[in-house]
Structure 1
């Protein structure tokens, strides 16, 4: 993410609001709305808006002028360098910065002026095209949504929150637990939990069969909706990860998953207990049936799923990686 340098005590601190989204996602519309409502600038102060592109909706010049917001266009990524931004700082002496840029821009190496600090990160997504981006542009979506304070999903007027049900399970792994997700539909805002769930397996089955294709959906839903799974029996193929710190019979049961791109592979699993785990080799691929329990875990300072394994059978090695 953007490099932020230690602030010189002799310089004023300037907060930066970073707004990212793909072309025509609704970034300008959001900026107009936030400016009109006073969210971006609660007090009348000199604000510098650095804009990367012209979308379908133009800025509301009347509103921006009333709010003392000066717009500077950025032709390309090369303008986001420390030297150029410091010149803008000296020329306009802003009290606040709004940096609006395309999600395709790589912000890893961008350096902000010494006295600029990112205060808030906002991502803007277009509801009708979200599924397409999740399927084909996940490598860009992941970094954009990481560490976001707010995520706006707009243009859901035609189907309301229901139009997002088919993509909810794919979007959930990319969200930080601290991100506030707001969905705009016909002038009203809804929360992420207002999206109706469409689960790819039957909860009424005994056991609930979790296939590799559905594993990631189950993994996150098991955390988010504990009442659905508490006391239910599940059946799945997974891998064993042992550690002596987990105590007698303790281990982790899960699968390797790609959450964003190949560079972001990680083991997604839960703590488990099986009396005969010593007979199962480390990293073995197994078929397991388990009861889903929940217990408070100090490491996460939260109540987390815990798998009480009823039976386990080794399978042939399987290096397959689950995706979304």
Structure 2
């Protein structure tokens, strides 16, 4: 079965350039045919001699309704490719998209123009979210003029898909290393008080950089999201974040070890203080934070119980 590369993004984000550069890489060479399915035509084009040189057969799909499992399976059967690259139309629906049932080896990559990302994320938030929800990587091109904003762009993408690898390129196509973000609190302090405005940033950063928080005291407010049936001193306390719409919420919760957890009820709101440690999930090869609660008291829900990703 062919490996499928699904490249998504809005018009002029740089999808075609990315695919052409990918086809030229030594590590991407194969001894077989590549089927390229193009769902929109931008300013950058595929020259016929380029496609021939890389053993690529291109098929265009102009109508969204034609992008369906039956037609995809039909053209794959016709060309018998070793792999398939899809340049998808970012304005088409990704949420309910269906592929042929046997397309299991699917790699999704989303590409954005950093100079227009703010516009799309404000006006088409649900489309942006669906582009990255199942992606392995998100690429933000042309970051030079918005360096002060890409930290917030990165957080908004990670809020939808915490496993997403986000990389940045400048206008010349050179990759920038991961940028140090200006956090809305002093991470060097031994005690951190996390407010409604800083909760989402704190959650996303600690999930990626748990070691720099281990040993610190954190003061938070959250609700009881889940309780363990077997352990009376363990529960998940957290908040919900709206990532694209009111119907699409992400849980930003922490595993907490706290005496008296068995007396808490689901949806109770508490203020709590504790020391950050970490634990390991072998199945996912993942270290995650655990908060050992020292003090906890019931409190009223905040005026807005959803946190904002900024």
Deviation for aligned residue 1:28: 0.9
Give the equivalent residue in structure 1 for 2:20.
32
Give the equivalent residue in structure 2 for 1:247.
231
The answer to whether the 8 A contact 2:95-2:130 is kept is no
1:19 aligns with 2:37: no
- Cα distance change, pair 74–250 in 1 and its aligned pair in 2 (3 A): same
Give me the whole-angstrom Cα distance separating, in 2, the residues matched to 1:67 and 1:225: 41
CA RMSD of aligned residues (A): 2.8
The answer to whether the 8 A contact 1:14-1:95 is kept is yes
TM-score of the aligned structures, taking structure 2 as reference length? 0.85
Structural mapping, 1:138-153, within 5 Å = 138-153=125-140
Give the equivalent residue in structure 2 for 1:221.
205
Deviation for aligned residue 1:270: 1.2
Give me the whole-angstrom Cα distance separating, in 1, the residues matched to 2:261 and 2:77: 65
Give me the whole-angstrom Cα distance separating, in 1, the residues matched to 2:78 and 2:162: 37
Give me the whole-angstrom Cα distance separating, in 1, the residues matched to 2:101 and 2:202: 44
Q: 1:184 aligns with which of 169, 185, 197?
A: 169
Structure 2 regions of 5+ residues with no counterpart? none
Give the equivalent residue in structure 1 for 2:112.
125
Number of matched pairs: 307
Structural mapping, 1:56-205, within 5 Å = 56-113=43-100, 117-158=104-145, 164-177=150-163, 179-185=164-170, 186-191=172-177, 194-204=178-188
The answer to whether the 8 A contact 1:36-1:63 is kept is no
Structural mapping, 1:40-55, within 5 Å = 40=28, 42-55=29-42
Give me the whole-angstrom Cα distance separating, in 2, the residues matched to 1:109 and 1:252: 31
User: Which secondary structure does the structure 2 equivalent of 1:212 belong to?
Assistant: coil
Deviation for aligned residue 1:103: 2.4
The answer to whether the 8 A contact 1:295-1:304 is kept is yes
Deviation for aligned residue 1:211: 1.3
Give me the whole-angstrom Cα distance separating, in 1, the residues matched to 2:235 and 2:222: 12
The answer to whether the 8 A contact 2:154-2:166 is kept is no
Structure 1 regions of 5+ residues with no counterpart? 1-12
- Cα distance change, pair 297–258 in 1 and its aligned pair in 2 (3 A): same
The answer to whether the 8 A contact 1:162-1:195 is kept is no
Deviation for aligned residue 1:130: 2.4
Deviation for aligned residue 1:195: 1.8
The answer to whether the 8 A contact 1:168-1:195 is kept is no
- Cα distance change, pair 262–181 in 1 and its aligned pair in 2 (3 A): same
